[in-house]
Structure 1
């Protein structure tokens, strides 16, 4: 048994970042992880491996569609699926090994095994019980499913199974038109699968700015993804050779079926807190199964804190990371803080989609008087040169103060472009501040500046 200042349960982005920050602040720290590798869902079976496959298949798309236009004469590329998976696994190893190195560098003990909290101040891992002044629960989330849809991770899969299929399916059905479904659906479409996305709502990516959403669906449709919207999945039956998904259209209650080699269940995620012993401790939970915390990440039991997917808020790795830093600083006597109004979200399809702040619909509902600055990537020289002119930047500013309240981008490198806006919003910048900031030419970022200019006298290149 070892005494610690802090024990973190879970080594995902929230957990490992929190552990490192605790150690940097002089706290004796340990992190509990039951996987064979650190990094949690994100690094092992989530964010990182999916981006590897997205990158590989985007390169395939470029070779198939744009190389010849640029005078690059090559034979039609073929896909070595085993090698692509090996590349993906190598990317995972590089990242997870990197976290292990950081733990050693910062003198963080890795308590290998699955943890539980028998009482406040104690964490049990295997047969050993460790004591800690404070415990941080960063246990993350797991994929959720639907009634009548039994996941076997072979034919009916979550994102975990979709990242290691034995072969590329000829037909794939994706249940759920959110981030995970559209990213992995895009991967397999580029690899040659027929992909049909079934969504309960009448729109893809719920909560996204409606104008961006319409453009996004249109572009994905051009890439060959089929959408069945307003459809309630009733179940999925499997045989040796195929899966059959049954769904009802909500508009007329008509029932339909569709066959596939693989069904990807991408209906969201839920907090993973099984086995921690939270019920016995009397830790308060929300109606959605999240751990209830106060403004300082403290649970209802003194000395136990929680962050990331296990608590309320968007299930985003970077949100968990910021919370991990904040709670570490709070425990060290500092003023840890997260600005939840400036947390970006990104969809890593092609083109990418990124947003931060309020949508136009949210501003209307709140009665905020706003103005819109919009600029198409068709007016951006770099985008046209790179066959990446689809999409636009949409900037929303308060009409009275000119303060930026939201930005929504669909286009090349949107996930990187959004961050200059995040910095601007963090410092309370006006659209004019962004418009008057010199941007290098030619870059995609000029489209962001042009959108800011559009909130004033108008963009230059439109």
Structure 2
């Protein structure tokens, strides 16, 4: 029986990063993965392929709406859907092969198959058992079903994000159940490609948990792009007949029943931990009521020597959160100090405009009774943004009223997913809005909007 210092179960962002870090720290490491390629949901059927389609469809939008204004005159491009899917698959291949190369470079054994844990210190992969001083569960998550509804996913007419990435043709109409990140991103893709898109959401606001002002602005902008929103609607069932779908829902405001028809229904009501088949109950590994694995502050489960990270445990289901935990968990196993600052984990929505946030929202601070100030700056005052038809949106920074320490930031606008990180770095070091405001920013860049919002926390923005 082969013996390892660490066996990681799952080769998604959390798992493969944990495996690489363990190997870098001198631990003999193996990683179990049953897919034909490494990278987990993120690289194969999630983050990476969706960004490829978002990029391609955004270029189409630019050609249709902005090229002529810049003096670029040409016939409107047509969509070769098969070729676009091929481009998306090529992007997946480049990334997954990159992880395979990193495994070989770091001498990590890829145990191909699906894992169970028969007892602490052992991992069984398709019938073959391996010894491990430490086990890291990085099994990820799977799409969740619609709560209380009769919905059967066939990945053809009723699809999850996986099926939405490989539809045989662009639908004339798509219904998206759920106005979270996945639903809005994939809804944007198909709306740009010409589909009629209706988003049905149970709550009264999109992107639950985000800054309320950002929620309103994003919904308004997406509506202008052609997405239709039906809010406060509880879906009860989805019927499929002759390749078409019919969604039945009840509006909560007046208890009225409605139906809406579509060629494709995307179920985007969140994700749940994937722990089935690991044998955790027999081992005595405790789970939460939501099926998440309970861990201590060092990511160890209730069974010594078994750790868990990423989507399988409590916290936001974000690839970068899993990566941070993977590195920190590896450090702990190697006898070092692993740390994750959960207060500084950014979140991004890759619609157009992008949305990014980190730290507290205004609602959080009001609930805490904390005195705060708001610094806000519109991209309409940013020269670079106006030059590239990207003036929609704003940067909003929240700071402690007494100390000026940054408590949160919310951005809707161009490159928001990149801009958020200078705020993250400032927060990581306990910095203030004044620290940002006194830092020289290159002109003309989108990043100047962040500086202006920081200035607005003090005496005022310059270009407002």
TM interval, shorter chain, is over 0.9
**Which residue of 168, 186, 206 maps to 2:208?**
206
SS in 2 for 1:458: coil
SS in 1 for 2:22: helix
- State the distance in 2 between where 1:130 and 1:204 align: 46
- State the distance in 1 between where 2:244 and 2:155 align: 14
| Residue in 1 that maps onto 2:445 | 443
- State the distance in 2 between where 1:240 and 1:327 align: 50
1:343 and 2:345 are equivalent in the alignment = yes
| Residue in 2 that maps onto 1:411 | 413
| Residue in 2 that maps onto 1:2 | 2
- State the distance in 1 between where 2:55 and 2:150 align: 34
Query: What pairs up with 1:63-102 in 2 under 5 angstroms?
Result: 63-102=63-102
Gaps of 5+ in 2: none
SS in 2 for 1:37: coil
- State the distance in 1 between where 2:197 and 2:399 align: 38
SS in 1 for 2:342: coil
**Which residue of 144, 155, 158 maps to 1:153?**
155
Q: Deviations over 1:282-317 (max 9, x none)?
A: 111101100000000000111000000000000000
- State the distance in 2 between where 1:289 and 1:274 align: 10
Query: What pairs up with 1:165-176 in 2 under 5 angstroms?
Result: 165-176=167-178
- State the distance in 2 between where 1:410 and 1:348 align: 10
Query: What pairs up with 1:380-459 in 2 under 5 angstroms?
Result: 380-459=382-461
| Residue in 1 that maps onto 2:193 | 191
- The Cα shift of 1:127 comes to 2.1
- State the distance in 2 between where 1:436 and 1:145 align: 48
Gaps of 5+ in 1: none
- State the distance in 2 between where 1:188 and 1:339 align: 36
- State the distance in 2 between where 1:163 and 1:286 align: 31
| Residue in 2 that maps onto 1:333 | 335
- State the distance in 2 between where 1:241 and 1:275 align: 33
1:49 and 2:49 are equivalent in the alignment = yes
**Which residue of 240, 250, 253 maps to 1:248?**
250
TM-score normalised over the length of structure 2: 0.99
Q: Deviations over 1:262-296 (max 9, x none)?
A: 00000000000011000110111101100000000
Kindly tell me the number of residue pairs found equivalent between the two proteins. Answer: 462
| Residue in 1 that maps onto 2:378 | 376
Q: What is the Cα-based RMSD across aligned positions, in Å?
A: 0.4
- The Cα shift of 1:241 comes to 3.1
| Residue in 2 that maps onto 1:320 | 322
Q: Deviations over 1:373-404 (max 9, x none)?
A: 00000000000000000000000000000000
Contact 2:157 2:243 in 1 (8 A): no
Contact 2:12 2:40 in 1 (8 A): yes
- State the distance in 1 between where 2:295 and 2:243 align: 47
- State the distance in 2 between where 1:49 and 1:454 align: 38
| Residue in 2 that maps onto 1:361 | 363
SS in 2 for 1:243: strand
| Residue in 2 that maps onto 1:111 | 111
SS in 2 for 1:206: coil
Q: Deviations over 1:333-352 (max 9, x none)?
A: 10000000000000000000
**Which residue of 224, 233, 236 maps to 1:234?**
236
- The Cα shift of 1:130 comes to 0.2
Q: Deviations over 1:393-427 (max 9, x none)?
A: 00000000000000000000000000000000000
| Residue in 2 that maps onto 1:284 | 286
Q: Deviations over 1:130-175 (max 9, x none)?
A: 0000000000000011230110000000000000000000000000
| Residue in 2 that maps onto 1:293 | 295
**Which residue of 158, 166, 169 maps to 1:164?**
166
- The Cα shift of 1:126 comes to 1.2
Contact 2:292 2:312 in 1 (8 A): yes
Contact 2:233 2:250 in 1 (8 A): yes
- State the distance in 2 between where 1:135 and 1:359 align: 36
| Residue in 2 that maps onto 1:38 | 38
- The Cα shift of 1:74 comes to 1.2
- The Cα shift of 1:240 comes to 1.3
SS in 1 for 2:289: coil
Contact 2:356 2:416 in 1 (8 A): yes
Q: Deviations over 1:171-198 (max 9, x none)?
A: 0000000000000000000000000000
- State the distance in 2 between where 1:145 and 1:173 align: 15
- State the distance in 2 between where 1:274 and 1:33 align: 15
TM-score normalised over the length of structure 1: 1.00
- State the distance in 2 between where 1:241 and 1:380 align: 48
- State the distance in 2 between where 1:2 and 1:339 align: 36
- The Cα shift of 1:371 comes to 0.2
SS in 2 for 1:341: helix
